[in-house]
Structure formats: C-alpha cells, structure tokens
C-alpha cells in the first residue's frame, strides 16, 4: 500500500476509536490482529471490540492527537508519535505515546503502543498518601537527573 494509504488507514482507525464505532474500527484490521500496550494485549477482532466498548467508560474525553514526528511509513510498517489524553476519576491526564503499526495488505495486523502509565497515574492520583507515594516512586526513578 502506498505511504499515503497507510497514513489514511491509521488516521481512519484512530478516528473510529475516538468515535467509539467498534464496527468501523474492525474494518481496519485483520481477523487475527494483535494490539500490545502497557495496559494489555488484545487478540483478534473480539479483543479489539471489547477494548472499544471499554474505552469511553474507562477514559471519558479520551483524545488522540498527532504530534512530533506524526506518522512515518516504511514499507508495510508505520510509526506514530501522538499525545493521548483523557479523564480518570474527574482528573485530566495527558501523555506521549509511540505506536508501531504493521500491515498485511490494506489492513492493520499488529499494533505496539508504548506510553508511561506511571506518568498518567501521577497526574490522576488523589489523596495525600497516594500523591506522596507516587512522588516518592517517580522521584526515586529520576534521582540525580530531575528535580521534583
């Protein structure tokens, strides 16, 4: 598939996710699609459909915005850089995500998504004890590098 076709497919897939249109999402993927992320690994169209149904309930106001490098295509693979955002328990969060898409013909056969769940957790944590614990954990990971 030409580079522009791959970009159009990825953008259509992501828009269908944002629209919570499970049937449309499934039109973009192979029957045995695999999507690996820090949250889980989804197998096949049934796993992906369950994810779409869960998405809005777990992440109201979810957003996906191209950023940085946008979409880079190399043969039957593409890389995306994007900003994910949402609301959890009434608190807004935002994080950078990197995704690798693999295609079989015109359909997505695999997605690998990487983002920092700890960074999201730190943004949405509530309560003094939880916030202190999050700061201690993330601070320890960056000690000597970043001031907290």
- pLDDT, tens digit (0-9, with 9 covering 90-100), for 1-20: 789 999 999 999 999 999 98
How confident is the model over 102-136, as pLDDT tens digits?
999 999 999 999 999 888 888 888 777 877 777 77
Same domain as 108, residue 121: no
Q: Domain residues for 47?
A: 3-115
The number of residues making up the chain comes to 148
What global pTM score does this model have? Answer: 0.85
Q: Which residues, other chains included, contact 110 with Cβ-Cβ below 8 Å and sequence gap of 6+?
A: 33, 34, 35, 36, 100, 101, 102
* CATH assignment of the domain containing 30: 3.10.450.50
Same domain as 107, residue 51: yes
How confident is the model over 52-80, as pLDDT tens digits?
888 877 777 899 999 999 999 999 999 99
Confidence (pLDDT) at 144: 62
How confident is the model over 135-145, as pLDDT tens digits?
777 776 666 65
DSSP state string for 124-142:
H--SHHHHHHHHHHHHHHT
Same domain as 129, residue 57: no
Six token digits for residue 59: 């992440």
Same domain as 124, residue 84: no
Same domain as 134, residue 102: no
Same domain as 129, residue 105: no
Same domain as 61, residue 11: yes
Same domain as 94, residue 36: yes
Total domains in the fold of the chain: 2
Alpha-carbon Rg for the chain in angstroms: 17
Same domain as 129, residue 89: no
Same domain as 123, residue 109: no
Same domain as 55, residue 105: yes
Same domain as 93, residue 44: yes
């Amino acid at each position: 598939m030409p580079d522009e076709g791959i970009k159009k497919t990825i953008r259509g897939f992501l828009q269908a996710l944002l629209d919570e249109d499970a049937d449309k999402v499934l039109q973009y993927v192979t029957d045995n699609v695999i999507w690996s992320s820090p949250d889980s690994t989804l197998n096949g169209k049934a796993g992906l459909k369950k994810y779409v149904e869960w998405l809005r309930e777990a992440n109201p106001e979810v957003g996906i915005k191209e950023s940085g490098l946008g979409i880079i295509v190399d043969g039957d693979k593409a890389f995306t850089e994007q900003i994910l955002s949402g609301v959890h328990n009434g608190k807004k969060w935002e994080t950078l995500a990197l995704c690798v898409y693999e295609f079989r013909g015109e359909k997505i056969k695999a997605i690998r998504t990487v983002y920092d769940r700890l960074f999201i957790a730190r943004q949405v944590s509530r309560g003094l004890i939880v916030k202190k614990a999050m700061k201690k954990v993330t601070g320890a990971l960056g000690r000597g590098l970043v001031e907290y």
